[in-house]
Amino acid sequence: MDTSFFLAWIKEAASAVQAERDHLTQLDAAIGDADHGANLDRGFAAVRQTLADTPPQTPGGVLVQAGSALIRKVGGASGPLYGTAFRQMGRALGDAPEITPADLVTALEAAQEGVQKLGGAAEGDKTLVDAFAPAVRALAQAVRDGAKLEDALETATAAAQEGAQATVPLQARKGRASYLGPRSVGHEDPGAASTALIFAALRRAAGQA
C-alpha cells in the first residue's frame, strides 16, 4: 500500500459520506444534533481540497493531513474524534513509503487508542467505538491468519457494520445521546454508522489496488 492507495481511501470515504449524508443526519436527528452527515461531508470535502492543494508524499502524510483538516473543519465531537483517528494512524506509519497489512493493523490500533483516550468511550457505550473496535480486531485476526488484504478488509467491514447495527438496542453512555437516557435505545449510533462507511471505503480502495 503506497500513497496512492491512501489517497484512494480518502476519495472513497468522501464519496460514501456524501452519498449517505442525509441518512447520517437522520440517524443523528434521533439522538443528537442532526448535523453528523452535514458536518462529516463538509469535513471530507475540506480533506480532499487540502490533499489537492498540498499533495502528500507518504501514506502517513496523507493521513496526518486528512486528520488535521477534519479537526479544523468539522464541528461537534466527530471532527476531533475522526481527526485524531487519522492523525494517530499517520503518526504510527511515520515516513514509510510502502505499508504492509501488519502496518495497517498497527496504525488502526493506534487510531482506536487515540479515539478512546479522547472520548473516554468503551465498547457498549453506543459510540463509533462499537464499530471501530470490532473492525480492528477482525482485521488483526485476518492478517495474522494470512488472509489477502482485500479479504481481510472485507471481514473488518462486516465487523464494523455488525457493530454499528448492534448499537440499536444500547442505551448511550457517552456523548450527547447519553442525555436522552432510555430514549436513546432503539436508534443506530450515527458515529458507528459513519465508521462502518469508512471501513467499507478502505475495502473498496484495496479492490482498486
pLDDT tens for residues 88-128? 999 999 999 999 999 999 999 999 999 999 999 999 999 99
Find the domain containing 58 and state its range: 3-208
Burial-class residue 195 by CB neighbours within 10 Å (0-12, 13-18, 19+): buried
pTM of this structure: 0.95
Query: How many folded domains does the chain comprise?
Result: 1
- Amino acid 39 reads N
- State pLDDT tens for residues 142-163: 999 999 999 999 999 999 999 9
Torsion 73-42-138-108 (CA) sign: negative
Q: How many CA atoms lie within 13 A of 190 on its CB side?
A: 28
Gap between the Cα atoms of 99 and 151, Å rounded: 17
The CATH number of the domain holding residue 203 is 1.25.40.340
